[in-house]
Every structure is written in C-alpha cells, then in structure tokens.
Structure 1
Amino acid sequence: MKNLGLIVVLVAGMMLTGCLENGQGTEVLKDLNNEDFSVVTEPGSDSSGSEGSNGETTTDQPGTEPSAPADREGLEINKGETLTASTNLLVDFYPPFFSAHMKVSENATCANGVWVDYADSKSMVSSKTNQSVPLSVQFRDHDGRLSKCYTQSIVIDQLPPEILFSKYPSASVEEGTDVEIIFTVTDAGAGVKEVTCQFGQIAKPCAAGQNKVIFPRMAGGEYTFTVYAVDKLTQSSDKAITFKVSSLYKQMAQTVTVNEYKKVDILFVIDNSGSMQYEQKSMASRVRNFLDVVKGLDWQIAVTTTDPTHKTLGDGRLVPLYGKTNSYILNSSMADADARYTLGMTLQRPETGSGAEQGIYSAYRAVERSLASVGGNTNFIRSDAQLAVVVISDEDESANGEKNDPGNFVKFIQDSFAGQKAMSFHSIIARPGDKACLSGEGYSAGFRYDQISKLTGGVIGDVCATDYAAQVQGIAEGVRKTLKSITLACEPVVDSMRSVVVLKDGQVYTGTRKIEGLNVVFDEMLPTAEYQVQYTCLK
C-alpha cells in the first residue's frame, strides 16, 4: 500500500462587508459620489461543497492528496483529488491480493472493461466532462480468483461559473434614487470559490448564490457594474451591465386617436419546459373561465411558448390550434364552447421545451413575426386593436439580450405603432418573495415578469395556485381595462410639480383615471376623438 498524502483544505467562504439579511453585519450606506454600494446576499445558496463551521464552503484542493483509511484498496484517482479541470487522469491501483490482471471501466459497475496485465498505475483520458466521472476496477490473480468491484469518482469541470442578472434598471433611473441589482452566481461542477463585484474603482466581495446590490442616491451619468467569478479550479468568468441615471426631465406630448372599436389581440406565452410538468397537467381547467370575461369584445387569441429556439413551436412562432388544421388564431366569432375547449387544449402543451425560458423575448418575436407577415403569425396583430400579453411560467427570463428587456419590449410596441396601441403584460409566475411557491412547484422568482407587469399595469398571479380561476378572471378584466387605456411612451413622473394632463379635441378631459405604470387607465371607455396627453418623464 502506498503512503497517504496530507489534506489541504480550500476555504471558499467569503466574508461579506455588505448589508446582510441574516444579521452577519451592517454597512453604512454612503452617497454615490464616493462610489459606494452595499451587498445583500443569501449565503449557502450555492449547492457545491459542504458548509464549514463558520458557514464557509470547503472542499479538497485540486492537486493535493487527501488522507485515506489505512486499509485502502482498489484504486485512487489523481492522488485523491475530488475535482479536476483536465480529462487526463492518473489512476493508482491497490489490489487486495497479488494480482496478475485487472479490468478498468469508465463506469461504476466494472462493466465493459478489458482484462489487461496488472500495473501499479495507468494514465487515462476520460470521454466525459462537466460531470462526475466514475471509474471502477476488478482484479484477477494467476489462479483466476476475482476481487470485488472497486469504484471511485472524480468531478471533471471545464466550465467557469455562470453569472445571471435577474433584476437591473431597464430604463433611465431618476437622479437621487437608489438602484437595485439582483444576480446569481453558480457553478454546478467545482463550485464557486470567489465572487467580486466592481463599480467604478470600488471592488467588494460578493458571494455564490443570489446577491442583491444596492447603489444609494444615484447621481446623473452612465454606470457599469461588473461581476467577476472564479471557481475552485481557477476557471473564471465575468459579466457586466450598464445603466443610465437621468439628471433632467423631459416634457412629452403624445397624440392618440381613439375609435369606437373594442378590438384586442391577446397573446398567451406558455412555459413548456420540463419544470412546468405539474402545472401543465391541468392547464386547460385552470384557464377555463378566461373567455367568459372577455365576451362581447372583438378579440383574437394566439399561443406561443417560452422556448427561444424550437424551429416550429418556439422563437415567437404561434403554435397550431389544438384540433384545427393550419389554424393559429382564435377569434370572437367562434362558438363559445369550441373556442373555450380549443384554447385550453392549445395551452396544455404536450412537448417538453427548452429549459432556457424566455417569455418576454418570445412575445417580442411573436409581434415581429406578425408585423413581417411570417407563417402562422400573419394577421395576428391588428393595427387598430389593443394588445395584451399573458405569460404563464414558473421561472424567470433566462437571458439578458435586448429582446429580453422589459423596457425594450414596451419601446418596441410604442415605436412599431407610433404610440397608438395600448398594451398590458400580465404574468402568472413564481412571485418574488413567495416563499411557499418557491419552495414548492415554483422553480425561480419571476423578477422581470413582475417588473414588466407593474410597468404596464398588468395583473401578477401565482403559478403555484391549484386553480387559476380567480387570477385568470382578474387578467381577463385587465384585458378589458386595456381598451380603456392609453399607453405612454415612458413612465410619467407625478409629484407636487408635475402631473398628467389629458386633452380631448383640444379641451381638458375630466374623465376620472389613474396611472398604472405606463398606462393611463380611465374608469369609462373613451369617447371617439383625438386625445393629447401631456406628461413629464425622466430624460
């Protein structure tokens, strides 16, 4: 038997200086002129490694030999390493008797190996990477006696940590207000060793798992926030976001022509990923009452999925209606029972789509395809109809591209229809802060869906609810409310010095109303006329 090595423990926990929710410390917030910021983290949310006595994550350091029991037999990989970034492996063998032959297999069962002459060690190149790789060995002596099957494994990780921003400014921020950014750092292989947040010249330690960074009392300007992450094999990654803080206001005057039509186009974006299997089982019954509430409107309804890549059912393509040949759009002229059944069965998706859910992106692409008259999307978005989007998903938007951004989606609709189309975005999601849902069927909090729904005055429902009847009714009523709304080009600033003024045919219109994000929502349907809305936004 060979000598045992020493244990070298790699301490990967990081002491945070930010404002910690778990009471581990409080940092005094300073003015941004000092480029200061605070960090709130959820320690222990990275599943790699094991928790040390101080909450720090520990693991054997790659390249060192840990201690082993004195009666060690079988095999040892890379001198006892548990992690490596290389597929080149060195395997040492420890037979229980004088061995003449051995059989080594790249599995945990000693199957599929080939008997060869015994050697004390062997160099191997693994065919697997970014996973736990098992190796097994069996020994045979000159008399044909067989040993039992010995197994060891090592994690081969060749990927750096993944950094995902789930909350960040989607539009200009008012000067003097706080900015909040939420991001998550994970590494499924080796585990995260170190995370650093940098803003200007200031760098501070962040942590594996979810982090919330707060920038207090922002001054006007353009800013970049960068996250750097290193795993326990020294593989590194970084990701940055840039946002603007406006120092001045801008005056807006938006003209909208209101006709007498009660037209609305409704797009359902349904999460068809594997994590939605529980919710999908009863999707048809969960949305059964939606059409009852929009009865009397001139509506069109279509369905797409959160899958950003599927060549027939993703990337914003409308999915075929259940039981209908070459048909993609429901409309209010259909018989009630037929429309209700078809909608429910179309929403209840049988396929398993991509786990990289992107509901906002899919809605963006669905409108783009309709405007370009492409495939089944042709004629879905009508120029004289309002627009309502309904997302049903148990996970947040999973990418950070231009078309995944809530503010960019709203701007795209405004620009595409010259400010004439009212729009609302409704979300049935794992709501941020809903611990019961997030510990149950909710996969991750829908921060960006929550943001775009609040931005457009939409309803925010609970994807973990056993029955969607009440919230579907609320969404349907919200769709009706869209017909009584004017969607502004930017979110208005309303305070003691600024207000929203509505003129009808040049005269002040006194109809009661309220502001819901970008939408001016009136209590009654607007009479047919030309309206001008005067308001103030951040520049």
Structure 2
Amino acid sequence: MKASLNTHFIVLGCVVLTLTAGCAKMNFAPVPEQDKAAVTPPTPPPPPNKTVSTTEVVAYGNKQVDFLFVLDDSNSMLPELKKLAARMSTFVSSLDASNIDWQMCLTTTRGLSSGGSLVYGSPYNWANYTPPSGAPAYLLKKGTGNLNTIFTSTIDTLTIGGGSSGDERGIKAAHDHFVNKDAHGCYREGAAISVILISDEDERSVGGVASRVKANDAAAVLQPMEAEDRPENLVAKSKSVFGEDIRFTFSSIIVKPGDAVCEAEQDKDTSPSHPGHVYEELSKLTDGGVGSICDADYSANLNTFKDKIVNSLSHLTLECQPVPSSLKVSIDGLSIHNYKVDKNVLKFTYSLIEGTKIDLQYDCIEGIP
C-alpha cells in the first residue's frame, strides 16, 4: 500500500507542476450575465403557403332556383304589401319567361303560437292556387298559370298586425325554414337558394340596439338578438343544411340605412319604421341585393334579385384567399384571365356552362381562410 500511494503522489505532483507551468500567464474571467442573455436562437423561417390544386366541373341542373319570400306582416307594412301585390306582374312574368327552373315558398316574420311557444318559418299557403296532384298548396312551381292572381290574392289574405307580428324576425324565420326543409320540401337537392325579405323594420325591430329605439315605439320593441337572428349564423346554417357549395343569396327590400327621407316617409304609417342594418349586412354577406321599400315599383328590385342568384352560377368559392400572383385558372384546358377575385370568391365575367371543366392552382395567403 505504501509503494502505491507514493506513486500516486508523484503523478499528482507532475500534473500540478505541468498545469502551473503552462497556465501561469493566462487570465480566466466569468462571462457576464447580460452577454449570455443576448444570445438567442435564430428565428425559424415562416411555414410555406399551402398550395391548392383542384378540378371543378359545373354541375348539370344548376339553373334550378328555390325562392323563399319572407314578408313582414306587422301593422306598419299594410301599405307596402298592397304595393307589392299590385306591382308583382313584371317580376312574375320575367321569372316565368326565363330559363330558370324555379319554385317558391312564402313565410312571414312573425312567430306563430304552437304548444305554448312561438314557431317561425312556417310555410304559408298560396291563395287561388291549385297545385299539381300531390304537391302542397304552399309550394308554387314554374309553369303555374295566373301567377299575378295568385300573388295578389295571397298577399291580400295575409293577416296584418296582431299577435307577435311586432317582433319582426326575418332571419330567424329563414333559419328555421332551412332547419325544417325535410318537413316541407321547399328545397331541391343542388338548387340555388334565394331568400327575398321585405320589411320596414330591422331584425327584432331595432337589431338589438337600444339607441335605435324611437320615442313612439312600443314598450317592448327592444329585444335581445339571439343566435338565430344573426347574419353569419344563417350563412353557416345554409352550409350545414344544404352543403358547403350551396349558392345562397339573401336580398332585402328595406328602409336603407342612411336614407332619412324614406325613413321619415315610413314613420308616417301606423308605427315607426327602422332602417334594416342587420338585413343589409346579411345581403352584402351573401352577395344579395338591397332595395328601398320607398321605391314606387318593386319589380325592378325583384328582377335584380333574381339575376343575382342566376349570376352567382359564375362564382366559385375557393378553399382560401389566394396569393394573387399564384392563381392559375384553366377552362376546358385553356388558360384564361377574364376573372376577378374577391377574397376567396373567384368571379368569372360570364356565366359558366354546365359540364365546364375548371382547373385551379393557387397558394393560400397564410393565416387567411
């Protein structure tokens, strides 16, 4: 044991002598904490944009359009509904003369009492109408004779005022009409859907905004906006019920926000009017039309609304908002450039023909759906 320990001491002494001789003139200092903190890892590169390559074929039978008229049947609407009944001839004539395979249902903005609660979006039977064998009286179809008489008679038979009519819920009515589509059969698979609302007030009269209540409004005019009253939820419901590719427009004939002259004119009726802020928002959200309830003739607006849904056959919803320089579009194998892009909607300058093959390639703008 002694010999071994002596050997270890000799080796250790050599190591100490060697280190002392080699490091005597070197000065070691600790690294300052701030220098350590300043050292950061490099920023990773941004993720690459998603590239989409897809082929779409314009479906056959896409000239089918299913209309839903939503009429405000509150007290103040009597003059407007009479005007509508008297001025529908141009609209129905152009509708029937078009190559659109249309059908139409009607509902009102009021809730109907059923089992102790209010039910919205119930179909309303057309008056002086004999439907085809087996078809319900609330489903009006292309090719029906005496359309002017049917429209006029139906509007004349509406109950105006009373009940819950003062709480106008046009969006809620359309929402519940969509939800119950299987019960009434107003919508066909793959058909475009066009909702047309006519009202001199907003959703729930004032759109849930206290500052829009007028001095001579009814006491309960201010009601909270529920989920089924909101524009974005009706759009979402249309997609969940009819499919992501549904061609859906919501058009409205209303007191246009900012039109003080029209609003003052409407205020002379039985009860005050209110600009349709929420209805206008939904119309813009779905690329629908907005007309003034003060127009002397509604037929021009109604024809515009009809054209809106027909023209939407030339719209194509992209998976995301594309990087403009990355978008490549080919029609039946031929590269084209006569289109424009509005966010994630590709709009052609002409209507697409059934069977047309569209090849698309584009990069998504990162973070924008």
Fold conserved between structures, TM > 0.5 = yes
Distance 1:252 1:391, change over 3 A: farther
Q: Is the 8 A contact 2:103 2:142 kept in 1?
A: yes
Structure 1 counterpart of 2:142, which letter? S
Cα offsets for 1:121-175 (capped at 9, x unmatched): xxxxxxxxxxxxxxxxxxxxxxxxxxxxxxxxxxxxxxxxxxxxxxxxxxxxxxx
Alignment of 1:415 onto 2:226: no
Aligned 1:256-295 pairs, distance under 5 A: 257-261=57-61, 262-294=63-95, 295=98
Q: Is the 8 A contact 1:394 1:446 kept in 2?
A: yes
Partner of 2:125 in structure 1?
320
Structure 1 unaligned residues grouped into runs of 5+: 1-249
Partner of 1:308 in structure 2?
111
Partner of 2:6 in structure 1?
none
Aligned 1:188-199 pairs, distance under 5 A: none
Cα offsets for 1:232-275 (capped at 9, x unmatched): xxxxxxxxxxxxxxxxxx96968755223211111111111112
Alignment of 1:362 onto 2:173: yes
Partner of 1:296 in structure 2?
99
Which has the larger Rg?
Answer: 2
Aligned 1:121-270 pairs, distance under 5 A: 257-261=57-61, 262-270=63-71
Cα offsets for 1:455-485 (capped at 9, x unmatched): 1111100012222122222222223213333
Cα offsets for 1:339-387 (capped at 9, x unmatched): 23313433455302511111111111111111xx22xx2x211112111
Structure 2 counterpart of 1:260, which letter? Y
Structure-2 separation of matches of 1:347 and 1:251: 52
Structure-2 separation of matches of 1:361 and 1:394: 16
Task: Give the match's secondary structure for 1:316.
Answer: coil
Partner of 1:128 in structure 2?
none
Q: Aligned residues: percent identity? A: 27
Aligned 1:348-497 pairs, distance under 5 A: 348=156, 350-353=158-161, 354-370=165-181, 373-374=182-183, 377=184, 379-398=185-204, 399-441=224-266, 443-487=273-317, 497=323
Given candidates 482, 500, 522, the residue that maps to 2:348 is 522
Q: Is the 8 A contact 1:419 1:488 kept in 2?
A: no
Larger helix proportion of the pair: 2
Q: Is the 8 A contact 2:329 2:337 kept in 1?
A: no
Q: Is the 8 A contact 1:430 1:445 kept in 2?
A: yes
Task: Give the match's secondary structure for 1:289.
Answer: helix
Distance 1:522 1:277, change over 3 A: same
Q: How many Å apart are 1:452 and its aligned residue?
A: 1.0
Partner of 2:7 in structure 1?
none
Q: Is the 8 A contact 1:315 1:365 kept in 2?
A: yes
Structure 2 counterpart of 1:274, which letter? N
Task: Give the match's secondary structure for 1:280.
Answer: helix
Cα offsets for 1:417-468 (capped at 9, x unmatched): 3322111111100110000111111600111111111111111000122221
Q: How many Å apart are 1:328 and its aligned residue?
A: 0.9
Task: Give the match's secondary structure for 1:431.
Answer: coil
Q: How many Å apart are 1:407 and its aligned residue?
A: 1.1
Alignment of 1:332 onto 2:142: yes
Task: Give the match's secondary structure for 1:437.
Answer: helix
Distance 1:531 1:308, change over 3 A: farther
Task: Compute the TM-score of the two structures, normalised by the length of structure 2.
Answer: 0.66
Cα offsets for 1:58-100 (capped at 9, x unmatched): xxxxxxxxxxxxxxxxxxxxxxxxxxxxxxxxxxxxxxxxxxx
Q: Is the 8 A contact 2:332 2:356 kept in 1?
A: no
Structure 2 unaligned residues grouped into runs of 5+: 1-48, 131-135, 205-223, 268-272
Structure-1 separation of matches of 2:341 and 2:234: 19
Q: Which runs of 4+ in 1 moved over 6 A?
A: none
Structure-2 separation of matches of 1:516 and 1:259: 22
Aligned length: 280
Task: Compute the TM-score of the two structures, normalised by the length of structure 1.
Answer: 0.46
Greater relative contact order: 1 or 2 (C-alpha under 8 angstroms, separation 6 or more)? 2
Structure-2 separation of matches of 1:288 and 1:467: 11
Structure-2 separation of matches of 1:407 and 1:360: 10
Task: Give the match's secondary structure for 2:195.
Answer: strand
Larger strand proportion of the pair: 1
